[in-house]
Every structure is written in structure tokens, then in C-alpha cells.
Amino acid sequence: MWEQVKQALTQSTARFLTKSASLLPGLAALILAVLMSLVLGWILAVVVRRVLASLRFDERMARWGFASLTDGSVLKSPTLFVSRSIFVLVILAGFLIGIAAFDFEWTSLLVSGILAYIPNIVGAVLVLLVGSLIARFVARSVLIGAVNLNLQYARLLSEGIKWLVIVLSVAMALEHLRIAPGIVELAFGILFGGIVFGLALAVGLGSKDLVTKSLGRDVKRASSEEIEDPLRHV
């Protein structure tokens, strides 16, 4: 009896050790892949940072309206953001290569699943970037236009438009990532509709007097200018 237990234990230990030993090459490959990707990622990040710095990427992004894209975060500079993103991506790629080296069915499935999801991530990031760019451009246009029309609530209007576009682009990005699409759709509909409805109510009811006064003043001003204003610009 004791012999049989001893034999079973020995066989189980041998199987465990054999299995563990068979994992060692994969583990070594994973560690090597991560180490290599660390080195490669670091080199690439340094090269990209230097190239972007020489191209004055931060200034250009500021001109295009991305100056405050990373406000409040650790990454104050778009150059740092891009170079660190590349660093992380390379490490992630190295990790996936290392995982694939284990030659298990589930690791292959995991890797292929992650790889298949990458286009969605890239698409979502692009949608967010373009959305942010459009939001800032439109917000700036609205702000300048409203100030030139002497609207006291110019900033409010500009911020409102900016957040509308950002909310729209975030909803599109989440849709692209296939994260709870039903909820996102519903939430976006409620949020967007709510904002528009709120604005309509504010103008129609809450700010009725203000709007009436404002419009009346504009009309009065326009008609009086045609008659009296002696200013001529060109």
C-alpha cells in the first residue's frame, strides 16, 4: 500500500517536473523577448523623441489645437506622449511574442484575439484624436466669432460646442472598441439629446428675457447704426 502511494507520488512529481521543465524554454523565450523589446522600445522611443523634438512637434501640436490635450496628466508634452506610447507598444509586442512561444493552444488564441483587436484600438485612438482636433478648432472658431459679435456668453458657448464634439467622438471611439455598444448608444443618445434639450429649454424658457433683450438690443443697434454711425473701415 505504502509502496503504491510512494510510486504515485513519485510519478506525479516526475510529471510535474517534466511539465515544468517543458515550460522553461517558453519562459526563457518570454523573458528574452521582453528584455529585447525593452531595449528595442527604449532605442525607438529615444529616436522618435529626438526626431519629434527636431521637428518641433510640441509647437506644431500646440498650433493645431492640441496644446492642452494632456493637461492635468503626467504627460505634458505630445512628444513624450508619442515616444512613451511607442515604448509601451514595443514592450507589449515583445510580451505577445514571448507568450506565443509557449506553444499552448490558449496562448495562441489569446495572442490572435489581442492582435485582431488592435485595429479597433488604433481606429478608436484615431477617432479620439481627430475628434479632439475638430472640437478644439470649432471651439476656437465659435469663441472668436461670439466675441466679435459681442456675446457675453462666448466662452460658455465655445466650451459647450467643444464638449458636444468630444462627447460625440468618445461615443464613436467606444462604439469602435465594441465596449457595451448598446449602453454607449443609449447613454450617448440621452446625454446628447439632454444637452440639446437643456439648451433649447434654457433659451426658450429660462433665458427668454435675456434672449429677448439681447436680440432687441442687436436689432436696435443694427438699425441705429445704419442711420447714425459715422465709422467707415475701408
Partner 1 sequence: METDSISLPAQQEAKQIDRADLVVGILTDLDAEAMMALRDALRTLPGSLRIAVVESDDRNQPAAPASEAPPDSPAVFFVPAPLARPSGPGAGPPSMAAAYHSIFATGERLQSRGCCIVASKLESATPQRVCRLLRPLVEGDVDLVVPHYARHRFEGLLNGSIIAPLTRSLYGKRLSNPMGPDFGVSRRLLQKILGTERGSRAGGNGLHPLASLAPAALCDNLQITEVHFGGRVHRPPDWTNTSSLLSEVLGPVFLDIERNAACWQRTRTSVTVPTVGEPVPVSEETASIDTTRLLDSFALGNRELQEIWGLVLPPATLFELRKLARTPREQFRLPDELWVRIVYDFALAHRLRTINCDHLLKSMTPLYLGWVASYAHDLEMDHFVGPDQRLERLALAFEAGKPYFVSRWRWPDRFNP
**What distance in Å separates the CA atoms of residue 107 and residue 155, rounded to the nearest whole number?**
52
Please select the residue that binds partner 1; options are 76, 92, 140, 192, rule is CB under 8 A. Answer: 140
Count Cα atoms within 13 angstroms, Cβ side, for 14. Answer: 6
The smaller minimum CB distance to partner 1, of residues 26 and 65, is found at: 65
Could you identify the residue written with the cell 462604439?
175
Report in angstroms how near the CB of residue 96 gets to partner 1 at its nearest. Answer: 41
Please select the residue that binds partner 1; options are 152, 178, 190, 198, rule is CB under 8 A. Answer: 152
Which residue type does 159 have?
E
Q: Does position 141 bind partner 1 by CB under 8 A?
A: yes
**What distance in Å separates the CA atoms of residue 159 and residue 107, rounded to the nearest whole number?**
46
Q: Binding marks (x or -) toward partner 1, 92..131, rule CB under 8 A?
A: ----------------------------------------
Whether the CB-CB separation of 135 and 64 falls below 8 Å is answered with no
Per DSSP, the three-state class of 172 is helix
What sign does the CA torsion over 170, 171, 172, 175 have? Answer: positive
Q: Does position 223 bind partner 1 by CB under 8 A?
A: no
Q: Which stretch binds partner 1 (CB under 8 A): 99-107, 108-116, 135-143, 173-181?
A: 135-143
Q: Does position 231 bind partner 1 by CB under 8 A?
A: yes
**What distance in Å separates the CA atoms of residue 148 and residue 154, rounded to the nearest whole number?**
9
Q: Does position 192 bind partner 1 by CB under 8 A?
A: no
- Count the residues of the shown chain that bind partner 1, applying the rule CB under 8 A: 25
Could you identify the residue written with the cell 429660462?
206
> Cell numbers of 83, please?
515616444
Please select the residue that binds partner 1; options are 6, 63, 208, 213, rule is CB under 8 A. Answer: 63
Q: Does position 53 bind partner 1 by CB under 8 A?
A: no
Q: Which residues would be at the binding site for partner 1 (CB under 8 A)?
A: 62-63, 137, 140-141, 143-145, 147-150, 152, 154-155, 221-222, 225-226, 229-234
